[in-house]
């Protein structure tokens, strides 16, 4: 393992995955890999076990990966930092208002649509029940403590998590990457590779996320019709 991403999703993680792999530190595990990745059923198994409170041998479970970003890895950041002492720890951050708004318009919107039976019934979009379980236990009940709609609670949690990581991980092992500020340089320096000449990737913005999940972009207001797809 070369890089462990400990920052929350909706903080540039899909762009970071593309950048990390472009820099030669892939494959890089992202939540999308257990939602609709080629080997999603195999990759999902250890996360289901962890979500249910079982002990997981992370070195074995993540043996085929060279990096992680996003959920569910960021929820068990302490375990991964300990399991892979040789890995650089990547703390990706963004301003809280942007983070919360993005989560509202993407993750939370999809969760609400799924519970209401409004998520389009598409096998490529709708993950198996075990994936919903991982998302619910790690994201909504885990990191967000079942209190996502309490914005000020989430703000404190978000800021405390960042502070805790900075206080826990040695400075010579930690790379802080800020969405909208940083590009290739911190990652390339950490990996000891040249900075690519091309622009830094920009992937999976709010409307891209919503389209991929079958929800209308925010610029549109087309109502969805109820389906049987639900978590």
- Residue 107 inside a domain? The answer is yes
Q: Say if residue 72 is preceded by a cis peptide, omega within 30 of 0.
A: yes
pLDDT at 67 over 80: yes
| pLDDT band, very low/low/confident/very high, at 226 (cuts 50, 70, 90) | very low
Strand 67-68 vs strand 3-5: parallel, antiparallel, or unpaired?
parallel
The helix/strand/coil state of 123 is coil
The Cα 227–Cα 119 span in angstroms is 7
Is 225 inside any structural domain? no
pLDDT for residue 230 = 36
Contacts of 174 (CB under 8 A, 6+ apart): 88, 89, 91, 165, 166
38 assigned to some structural domain = yes
Q: What band does 220 get if pLDDT is binned at 50, 70 and 90?
A: low
pLDDT of residue 150: 98
Number of separate domains in the chain: 1
Average pLDDT (41-51) is 93
**Predicted local confidence at residue 73, as pLDDT:** 97
Least confident of 19-28, 56-65, 79-88, 202-211: 202-211
pLDDT of residue 146: 97
Whether 223 is covered by a domain: the verdict is no
For residues 81 and 31, what is the distance between their CA atoms, to the nearest angstrom?
18
pLDDT of residue 49: 97
Q: In 141-225, which ranges are E strands?
A: 174-178
Q: Mean pLDDT in the chain?
A: 89
Burial of 173 (0-12, 13-18, 19+ CB in 10 A): middle
In a domain, residue 180? The reply is yes
Average pLDDT rounded to a whole number, residues 60-67: 97
The model's pTM: 0.88
pLDDT band at 222 (very low <50, low <70, confident <90, very high): very low
The span from the CA of 22 to the CA of 93, in Å, is: 21
Helix/strand/coil for 146: coil
Q: Convert the pLDDT of each residue in 78-122 to its tens digit.
A: 999 999 999 999 999 999 999 999 999 988 888 888 777 777 666
Question: What is the rounded average pLDDT of the residues 165-180?
Answer: 97
Q: Is the pLDDT of residue 225 over 50?
A: no
Instruction: Specify whether the CB–CB gap between 28 and 191 falls below 8 A.
Output: no
Above 80 in pLDDT, residue 126? no
Output 208 or 120, whichever has higher pLDDT.
208
Domain that holds residue 158: 3-212
Average pLDDT over residues 43-50: 95
Q: What is the CA radius of gyration of the chain?
A: 17
For residue 178, being part of any structural domain is answered with yes
Task: Please say if the pLDDT value at position 69 is more than 80.
Answer: yes
In angstroms, how far is the first alpha carbon of the chain from the final one?
32
* Residues 77 and 24: beta-carbon distance below 8 Å: no
Residue 57 lies inside a defined structural domain of this protein: yes
Q: Count CB neighbours of 161 within 10 A.
A: 18
* Residue 80 maps to a domain: yes
CATH number at residue 18: 3.40.50.300
């Amino acid at each position: 393992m070369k890089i462990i991403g400990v920052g929350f999703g909706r903080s540039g993680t899909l762009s970071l995955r593309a950048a990390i792999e472009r820099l030669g530190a892939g494959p890089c595990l992202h939540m999308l890999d257990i939602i609709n990745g080629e080997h999603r059923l195999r990759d999902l198994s250890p996360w289901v076990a962890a979500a249910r409170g079982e002990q997981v041998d992370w070195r074995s479970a993540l043996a085929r990966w060279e990096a992680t970003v996003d959920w569910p890895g960021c929820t068990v950041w302490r375990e991964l930092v300990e399991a892979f002492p040789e890995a650089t720890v990547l703390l990706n951050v963004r301003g809280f208002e942007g983070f919360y708004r993005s989560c509202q318009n993407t993750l939370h919107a999809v969760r609400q649509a799924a519970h209401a039976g409004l998520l389009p019934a598409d096998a490529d979009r709708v993950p198996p029940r075990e994936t919903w379980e991982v998302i619910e236990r790690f994201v909504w009940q885990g990191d967000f403590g079942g209190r996502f709609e309490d914005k000020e609670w989430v703000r404190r949690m978000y800021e405390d998590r960042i502070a805790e990581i900075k206080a826990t991980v040695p400075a010579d092992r930690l790379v802080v990457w800020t969405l909208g500020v940083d590009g290739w340089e911190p990652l390339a320096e950490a990996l000891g590779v040249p900075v690519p000449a091309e622009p830094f990737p920009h992937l999976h913005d709010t409307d891209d996320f919503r389209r991929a999940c079958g929800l209308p972009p925010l610029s549109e207001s087309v109502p969805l019709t109820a389906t049987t797809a639900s978590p």
